[in-house]
A = this chain, B = another copy of it.
Amino acid sequence: MNIAEIAEMAGVSRAAVSRYFNNGYISEEKREAIRKVVEETGYRPSIQAQMLRTKKTRMIGVIVPKVASASIGRIVEGILSVLNESGYQMLLAVTQNDPRKELEYLSAFHGKQVDGVILAATVFTPEHKRMLKNSAVPVVVVGQYLAGQCAVYHDDYHATYELTKLFLEKGRQRLGFIGAIRQDQAAGEDRYRGFCDAVQEAGHGELADHYTIAEFTVASGYEKAGELMKKYDNLDGLICATDSMALGAVRYLRGHGIKVPEQILVAGHGDSEIARMTIPPLITVHYSYEKSGEIAVQMLMEQLGRGESAMKEVKLGCHIVDPGAAS
């Protein structure tokens, strides 16, 4: 079934059939004749042929480090919800945190395979930036700020800053911090800086040293909490860069006879389901992950429509979730 056969069956030209599907000029009679034939045959225009001819794929590429993760999963769902309203499809690539794969997919995608790209990376190398600069298709970065690029991200700095101030207000004076690698701009660098600045302002600059780096897992949080406790045994508050780390920390502390939150108050980031698993639930920071995915798509769509996007960056606010505050 191709357009020529349909045209012949309906007694019109191929162009007329094309117009039928693309809202071109067409008389009522022909429209009806074509409609009938299309219905009978179940004909659908070949997407591949359309892509070739129009040079639009109606697909966007999404590159993420992993997908079996609460935060990224939610970003992807946000992306998809807006995307298929617009009749676009999503080509998903997972890099497993391998920067080489990231570049590989980026180049594959911007070789006109898709109309646009959404990139959720963690660490940006100069190579990344170069590639983004001369990309043939628009790219939106999600999850962190990147100079000169369209990006949607959260205000990680202020989130952790406020969280730390909250701890201080609650009278916790001896804070510790379990962070992510500093190359990770959002989860690593910004959150730690928020912590540092808050303790600094409160006149407790020395607390910035109560700091260690963990991976994004419960096990790593457990281990690093142990290391931190051995070094600084009189902590009364612990802020972690992610909920998983925080969970691991709680397990370590309780496993070693330390009362949480009475002796040590613990907080994470992410407002994930697991943050609500402890009793009482963790203090955490809520991120609008779905929203950031949705906005990323909107920015992309704007660029696909007109040449330029009105928004170049969108910074989303976070809010602290403190289950104890209700009581």
**Would you call B73 and A77 a contact (CB within 8 A)?**
no
Question: Which B residues touch A76, using CB under 8 A?
Answer: 67-68, 92
A80 to B93, CA, bound (A): 8
Q: How many Å lie between the Cα of A73 and that of B89 in the bound state? A: 19
Most buried by B among A68, A92, A276: A68
- Given contacts A44-B111, A51-B51, A274-B277, list 18 more A-B pairs with CB under 8 A: A47-B111, A47-B112, A48-B52, A48-B55, A51-B52, A67-B73, A67-B76, A68-B73, A73-B73, A76-B92, A80-B93, A89-B91, A218-B273, A254-B279, A255-B279, A273-B274, A277-B277, A277-B278
| In the complex, A9 has a CB within 8 A of chain B | no
* Interface CB pairs A-B, < 8 A, 6: A46-B112, A77-B94, A89-B93, A218-B276, A218-B277, A255-B279
Q: How many copies of this chain does one complex carry?
A: 2
Residue A59 lies at the interface, judged by CB distance under 8 Å to chain B = yes
A279 to B76 alpha-carbon distance, docked (Å): 32
A interface with B by C-beta (< 8 Å): 44, 46-49, 51-52, 55, 57, 59, 66-70, 73-74, 76-77, 80, 84, 89-94, 111-113, 218, 244, 247, 251, 254-255, 273-274, 276-279
- Chain B contacts of A67 at CB under 8 A? 67, 73, 76-77, 80
* Cβ-defined contact, A92 with B94, below 8 A: no
- Which residues of B lie under 8 Å from residue A255 when comparing CB positions? 279
Ranked nearest first, the 8 interchain pairs of A and B with the lowest CB-CB distance are A68-B73, A48-B51, A277-B277, A48-B52, A92-B92, A68-B74, A80-B94, A44-B111
Q: How far is the CB of A197 from chain B (nearest CB, A)?
A: 32
Which B residues are CB-close (under 8 A) to A84?
Answer: 93
Q: Majority SS of interface residues in chain A?
A: helix
Q: How far is the CA of A92 from the CA of B60 in the complex (A)?
A: 11
Chain B residues near A113 (CB-CB < 8 A): 47
Q: How far is the CB of A141 from chain B (nearest CB, A)?
A: 20
Give the complex CA separation of A44 and B112 in angstroms. Answer: 10
How distant is the Cα of A274 from the Cα of B73 in the complex, in angstroms? 16
Q: Which residues from B are CB-within-8-Å of A277?
A: 218, 247, 274, 277-278
Closest to A61 in B: B89
> Which residues of chain B are near A254, meaning CB under 8 Å?
279
B68 and A92 within 8 A (CB): no
Q: CB-nearest residue of chain B relative to A109?
A: B89
CA distance A90 to B277 in the complex (A): 34
Contact B273 A251 (CB under 8 A): no
Q: Within 8 Å CB of A77, what residues of B? A: 66-68, 94
Assembly CA distance A274 to B91 (angstroms): 29
Do A80 and B92 touch (CB < 8 A)?
Answer: yes
- Chain B: minimal CB distance from A200 (Å): 34
In whole Å, how far is A255's beta carbon from the nearest beta carbon of chain B?
8
